[in-house]
Each structure stands twice: as C-alpha cells, then as structure tokens.
Amino acid sequence: MVKKWIILTLSAVLALSLGGCSSDSGNNDAPADSKGTTGAKTKIIYWTPDRHDADFMKAKVDKFNQTNRDNIEVEMNVMGDNYPQAVDISFASKQAPDVLQVNDFQTYYKKGYLAPINSYMSDEMKATFKDSLIENKNTIDGKIFTLPNTGQIWRLIYNKDIFKKAGIATPPKTLADMVVAAKKITEVGKSEGIYGFASPFKSGNGFWRAANTIAGVSNNTGIDGYNYKTGQFDFGMYKDIALALRQMKEDGSMLPGVENLDIDPLRAQFAQGKIGMYINHSAEPGVYKDQFPTTENWGAVPVPSIDGTIKGASQIIGGSYIGISADSAHKEAAWKFMEYVYSKELQSEYYEKGYGISLIPAVLSSGKKPSIPGIEGFLPKRVDAIYPANPSIITESSLEGMKWAEAFNVFVFTGGDVNAIIKDLDTRYNTSLEKLRASGTTNIVADPNFDAAKLQGKLSTEE
C-alpha cells in the first residue's frame, strides 16, 4: 500500500509539472478518449529534456501537426533536470509518453521501456543508418530501438577578452596551465566579479563535465572510470584532475557559490562575462544565440590533457536519441513522428543551425556546415571519437553508496584522501559489475586490444 501511495503521489506531482511545459499545438481543451485521441486525431506525447533547441523543435512539432496526413497530433513536453526520475515515474504509473528521448539506453532497455523499430524502418532508412548503429547504444541482439542524430562535442569554452585582460596568450594545453590561468583571471577580475573557472557542481555531474573529457584525451584505456582493456573500473584516471580542481577551489579561482550551481545559471553568468572558462559541449552556440544571448567574445578549443599530450580520444557523447515507448498504444503513429524527426531535411537544418553536430553520414556528406556564431570551435576534429558502450551507468543502478562523480565532487570542495576515495570507488564499482555480469544484466567484457587513439578521425571535418 505504501509503494502504491508513493507512486500515486509522484504521478500527481508529475502531472502538475507537465502543465506548464507543453507546446501549444492542437486543441488541448477538446475531450480526449481513453486511447489518447482528441476527436478524429491520434494524440502522441513526446518528452525531451533538451532546452537549448526547444524553440526549434516546437516549431517543427507544430509543422508536423499542421501538415501530416494521418491525423496525428504531437504534444511536446520539455522536461526539467529531473528527467530520469520523471521517466521512471511515468512508466511505473502507466503514464509514459509515446515518444521519449533516450538518455540512458542500457537502463531503458533493461527496464523494458523501449519498443524495437526494425519493422517500421524502410530499407532506405536502414541503409542510411546501418554504419552508424552501435551495440548497446542503438541495438541489442539485432533489435534496433533508437537511432543516432547528433553528438555532443566537448570543449573548453573561454572568454577571449577576459583571457587577454589577464595576459594569457593562449588557452591552456595542460592541467597545470588551466590552474594557473584560472588564478590569473581571478586576480585580475575579482574586483569586477570575474572568476577563472566554473562547473555546475550542484550535483556530481559538475565534476563529470569538468573531468571526463580531460581523462579521455589523457589515457588510451577508457572513460567514465571504466578501463575497456581490463574490463574493470579504475578511477585513478581522475586523480590528477581532481587534485587540479581542488587546487582551483583552494586558490579561490572558482565562481563563488559554484557548489550550488546548475548548468543554466552557469551559462547565464558566462553570458554576462563573469566566468573565464568552463567545459561543456556543442549545444553552447545555440544557447548563446537563443537562450542566453550574449555579446561576449567567446570561443571553444579542445580541452587540456593532463600533461599536454593526447594519448586517447575526446569523447563524442551520442548514439542514442529518441525511441518509442513499449507501453504506447499508438506505436505506428509514434513511428510516423519519429520518422519525421529523423528525416534528412529536419536533421540537416538542425545541424546547419548549430543545435548539434550530426552523426548521420547523409547529413555530414552534404558538405554544408553550421553558420551559427561560435560553432566553428565545436566541429569534429581528428581527436574526437565515439567510444563503445561501457557499463558505467548500468552499474550505478545497483551500486551501494556514493557514485563516483559525486565522491570526487565532495573531494573538490572538502578535500580528503584522494587515494582512499579511488580505492573505495574501484572496490564498490567492480563488486557491483561482477554481480551484473553474473546475472547476465550486461554483456560488456574486457577488450584487451582496445586503444582509444584508434577511435580518432572517423567523423573529423578537418582537411
């Protein structure tokens, strides 16, 4: 009874949260029947956590609603930072959307949230995506559940004028350079409220954003704390990065209150010229064009490595995009909308307007490039690469104790014994991973021949 009461309560909260975030497409005041239709129309609910492209996608949803010949009406809901929890609640309470963004493919598959789409795809569409599909990101055992669209290209984003004011000629190439640059910027700009570095440290996500790409270029064995060669977790890859971030905190080089900062408030501060540098991805040009318009002179460059050499690859996060809910009563209608979103026309416009870097060969081969200000720094370089799936996220679903990024987050702000933190994380994560493999929950195992450097160059736009 208690569990049922909790689900009902959370469902009520979820329903209230959706009231203010729908697109204004269609006649939402018309009576709906129990199958989700409004009059002669089939109503499809689409969920996304993305805000940087919300205006663009709402316009595309409106166009679909006005032009499709199948009497389909899509209601788009832009969710908040609690998207993963909202998805879980919606399935538990039988209120799941028909189409949803897949931000955690392995977990969604394990929980039975997604319907396979093989039977809906035309031969032409299968040919378009056949070289882009990644096992455990799009497919499992030959079944396709989602397709790639864009990838997040991660960069060091910096304010050129602030760097110039601090006497810094070039963006940092090493961790030590980054620590020194942050300190110089703060010394010069503190009186005006300008600080050297920030990351959205309100959650462990802040450490992950700041550290994961640096770790990826600094070693050739893995990311997310996972060593592909050994098939084990090894969080020692973050030691130097954690120490550097801790040093910036002790130097006073971070924006005050950064430990309680989310990404959008950070972006707002950067747009106002209050932050020298931070690490984030290729959504930023769209953010600074539409969400937080700015006149600051900013740019994006590859992240520094630990010692200035590139041993691995800069992770492109992508591979999964949207999928159809296994619970949807309108899967064919949901597919028609999904097919529309994945159309070359829409995806090409999305790429050219700078909302994301496409991973679709048909889009990239067109020769067109985005023209949005700031996007040039995010175009794929040889060092950028898509990594194979790893068991990091699914391991955390059964982990006992604090997650790795949260543990390092705490260290950045309170200090402690970083070696003890790493040992504890290695022990807990590998214990959990062993159980998951024994139960058949994950089939990802060691790849002794893995070398991240060999992943480079496949999506590069460099001549």
Task: Report the pLDDT value the prediction gives residue 27, as an integer from 0 to 100.
Answer: 36
Task: Report the pLDDT value the prediction gives residue 39, as an integer from 0 to 100.
Answer: 57
Rounded-to-integer distance, Cα 208 and Cα 215, Å: 10
Rounded-to-integer distance, Cα 267 and Cα 37, Å: 39
The 3-state DSSP composition of the chain as helix, strand, coil percent (nearest 5) reads 45, 15, 40
Average pLDDT score over residue span 114-122 = 97
pLDDT of 223 higher than 80: yes
pLDDT of 266 higher than 90: yes
Residue 73 pairs in a beta bridge with 43
pLDDT tens digits, 321-358: 999 999 999 999 999 999 999 999 999 999 888 788 88
- Which long-range contacts does 418-427 make (Cβ < 8 Å, 24+ apart)? 418/239, 418/242, 418/243, 419/239, 421/235, 422/235, 422/236, 422/238, 422/239, 425/225, 425/233, 425/235, 426/232, 426/233, 426/234, 426/235, 426/236
pLDDT tens digits, 123-137: 999 998 887 788 888
pLDDT tens digits, 280-295: 999 898 899 888 999 9
DSSP SS3 for 417: coil
Task: Report the pLDDT value the prediction gives residue 243, as an integer from 0 to 100.
Answer: 98
Find the helix packing angle between 205-218 and 239-251, rounded to 10°: 130
Average pLDDT score over residue span 25-36 = 38
Task: Tell me where in the chain the CATH 3.40.190.10 domain(s) lie.
Answer: 2-147+320-358, 153-316+388-455
The CATH number of 153-316+388-455 is 3.40.190.10
Task: Report the pLDDT value the prediction gives residue 393, as an integer from 0 to 100.
Answer: 84
What is the 8-class DSSP label of residue 221? Answer: S
DSSP H or E stretch at residue 50: none
pLDDT of 35 higher than 90: no
Rounded-to-integer distance, Cα 105 and Cα 65, Å: 28
Relative to beta strand 41-48, strand 72-78 is: parallel
**Beta-carbon neighbour count of residue 416 at 10 Å?**
11
Average pLDDT score over residue span 202-217 = 93
Write the CA distances from 60 to 78, 307, 350, integer angstroms.
14, 45, 10
Average pLDDT score over residue span 243-256 = 98
What is the 8-class DSSP label of residue 323? Answer: E
pLDDT tens digits, 405-441: 999 999 999 999 999 999 999 999 999 999 999 998 8
Task: Report the pLDDT value the prediction gives residue 367, as an integer from 0 to 100.
Answer: 67
Average pLDDT score over residue span 379-396 = 89
Task: Report the pLDDT value the prediction gives residue 19, as an integer from 0 to 100.
Answer: 41
In the chain, count of helices (H) and strands (E)? 17, 19
Half-sphere exposure of 136 (CA within 13 A, CB side): 15
Half-sphere exposure of 122 (CA within 13 A, CB side): 9
Relative to beta strand 150-153, strand 357-358 is: antiparallel
Say if residues 455 and 386 touch (Cβ distance below 8 Å): yes
DSSP H or E stretch at residue 194: none
Say if residues 87 and 323 touch (Cβ distance below 8 Å): no
Rounded-to-integer distance, Cα 447 and Cα 390, Å: 11
Q: What average pLDDT does the structure give for the chain? A: 89
Rounded-to-integer distance, Cα 376 and Cα 354, Å: 10
pLDDT of 7 higher than 60: no
For residues 360 and 189, the model is more confident at 189
Q: pLDDT class for 8, splitting at 50, 70, 90?
A: very low
Question: If you count them, how many residues does the chain have?
Answer: 463
pLDDT tens digits, 71-100: 999 999 999 878 999 999 999 999 999 999
Residues contacting residue 349 through CB under 8 Å, at least 6 positions apart: none
Task: Report the pLDDT value the prediction gives residue 390, as an integer from 0 to 100.
Answer: 92
Tokens of 168: 């810094």
Query: Rg of the chain over CA atoms, in angstroms?
Result: 22
Residue 295 pairs in a beta bridge with none
Rounded-to-integer distance, Cα 91 and Cα 119, Å: 24
Rounded-to-integer distance, Cα 239 and Cα 143, Å: 39
Q: Give alpha helix (H) positions in 155-274.
A: 160-165, 175-189, 205-218, 239-251, 263-271
The CATH number of 2-147+320-358 is 3.40.190.10
